[in-house]
């Protein structure tokens, strides 16, 4: 058992936050939780109900200096999950990403420095890598250029070699791969990491950057702009509709279960050393978006996925990373098999009442 700590968990009412809280309590830590309950994430607007006695809950915004000072007082470490999440493709949302994620993180870090809190575990994302890199038969490892509208419009979804234009084989990215964020959300996560690194170097603190892959599992948000693709697929299947898969369905991702993500996050909080260290958090087994849609359709005995050819310019075609550093340095390994996770997701969706489609806007 690791040393018991008093941990501040931000974003604790969210999808991943609820599982991190469970893991912290399971491992015997004292926890103070914080969430703003922002309505675009927590649409019900209901009061926050915690399932555990003895957990101190604070409702407020990490952009509020006085509130942050209260929140960090007396804690040994902070797990920072609070953020505006989503696709980050609407340019009108850029100020909110910058304010919620980057200003919020800066205020939190400043408060930690004032209070002498020296341990940070930050929820980052694999989206900071953009397209990562690919392998060209002639030019070796290269960074794909941004995808262009004219190519996507005719169904040419694969980013080519930026030198010769040939197709690329997909490569795994490690934590030393340079950043190439392709949308506002990705840019805000990269900025959070830079602020955290600044703080760690100035204070001598520990900053563990957890670059989550595509997280799925119990408690996923449904039918919101921030729902994961698995949630969107199960929602369609529960309505008796075919899950709609963008592009050609061959986009590669690493789907990792939320309980595995929570376990990795708590281990990093417990075990990371002074300085700055980034960790890719993935299952280690890349799959396509089409694979996930088909697995859910079969589990729910629903219609086969419909491959639509639709696209979003800011989306990344492939991003799969090497998570061996996390396994090697922190002793973590994923415990939930993909097939088991899909079956669990399907069973949970069946247990919930189907929701009608709601027209937005």
Mean pLDDT across the stretch 261-273? 96
Give per-residue pLDDT as tens, 300-342.
Answer: 999 999 999 999 887 889 888 899 999 999 999 999 999 999 9
With contact defined as beta carbons under 8 Å apart, do 119 and 108 qualify?
no
Range with the lowest mean pLDDT among 43-52, 169-178, 312-321?
43-52
Say whether pTM exceeds 0.95. no
Given pLDDT bands bounded at 50, 70 and 90, which one contains residue 51? low
Collapsed DSSP state (helix, strand, coil) of residue 21: helix
Tell me whether residue 202 is exposed, middle or buried, using C-beta atoms within 10 angstroms of its C-beta: 0 to 12, 13 to 18, 19 or more: exposed
Region label for 86, one of left (φ > 0), alpha (ψ between -120 and 50) or beta (otherwise): left
Phi, psi angle pair for 79, to nearest 5°? -105, 115
Q: Which residues contact 179 (CB under 8 A, 6 or more apart)?
A: 128, 129, 130, 190
The per-residue pLDDT for 2 is 72
The per-residue pLDDT for 171 is 83
The per-residue pLDDT for 89 is 61
Given pLDDT bands bounded at 50, 70 and 90, which one contains residue 360? very low
Give per-residue pLDDT as tens, 334-356.
Answer: 999 999 999 998 888 776 654 43
Q: How many CA atoms lie within 13 A of 68 on its CB side?
A: 22
Q: Give CA–CA dist 264/212, Å, rounded.
A: 10
Query: Per residue in 297-324, is it b (16+ CB within 10 Å) or e — as a string?
Result: bebbebeebebeeebeebbbbbbbbbbe
Give per-residue pLDDT as tens, 94-111.
Answer: 999 999 999 999 999 999
Alpha helical stretches, state H, 239-323: 258-271, 289-299
The per-residue pLDDT for 361 is 23
pLDDT > 90: percent of the chain? 68
Neighbours of 274 (CB within 10 A): 13
pLDDT at 260 over 50: yes
Q: Give CA–CA dist 88/57, Å, rounded.
A: 29
pLDDT at 46 over 90: no
Write down the mean pLDDT value for the chain.
89
Closest C-alpha among 149, 317, 320, 342 to residue 249: 317
């Amino acid at each position: 058992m690791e040393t018991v700590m008093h941990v501040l968990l931000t974003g604790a009412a969210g999808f991943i936050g609820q599982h991190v809280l469970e893991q912290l309590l399971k491992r015997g830590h004292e926890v103070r939780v914080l969430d703003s309950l922002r309505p675009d994430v927590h649409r019900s607007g209901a009061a926050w109900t915690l399932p555990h006695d003895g957990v101190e809950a604070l409702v407020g915004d990490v952009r509020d200096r006085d509130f942050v000072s209260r929140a960090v007082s007396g804690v040994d470490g902070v797990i920072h999950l609070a953020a505006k999440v989503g696709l980050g493709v609407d340019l009108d949302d850029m100020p909110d990403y910058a304010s919620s994620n980057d200003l919020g993180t800066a205020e939190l870090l400043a408060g930690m420095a004032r209070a002498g809190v020296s341990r940070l575990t930050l929820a980052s994302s694999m989206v900071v890598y953009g397209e990562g890199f690919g392998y060209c038969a002639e030019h070796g490892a290269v960074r794909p250029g941004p995808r262009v509208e004219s190519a996507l419009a005719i169904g040419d979804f694969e980013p080519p070699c930026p030198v010769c234009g040939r197709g690329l084989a997909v490569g795994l990215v490690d934590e030393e791969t340079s950043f190439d964020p392709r949308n506002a959300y990705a840019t805000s996560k990269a900025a959070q990491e830079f602020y955290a690194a600044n703080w760690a170097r100035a204070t001598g603190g520990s900053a563990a950057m957890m670059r989550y892959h595509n997280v799925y599992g119990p408690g996923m948000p449904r039918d919101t702009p921030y729902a994961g693709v698995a949630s969107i697929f199960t929602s369609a299947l529960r309505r008796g509709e075919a899950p709609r898969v963008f592009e050609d369905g061959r986009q590669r991702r690493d789907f990792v279960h939320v309980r595995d993500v929570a376990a990795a996050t708590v281990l990093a909080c417990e075990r990371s050393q002074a300085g700055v260290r980034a960790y890719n958090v993935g299952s280690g087994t890349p799959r396509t978006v089409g694979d996930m849609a088909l697995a859910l359709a079969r589990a729910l005995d629903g219609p086969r996925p419909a491959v639509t050819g639709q696209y979003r310019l800011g989306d990344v075609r492939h991003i799969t990373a090497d998570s061996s550093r996390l396994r090697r340095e922190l002793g973590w390994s994923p415990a939930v098999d993909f097939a088991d996770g899909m079956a669990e997701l399907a069973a949970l969706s069946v247990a919930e009442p189907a929701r009608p489609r709601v027209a937005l806007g």
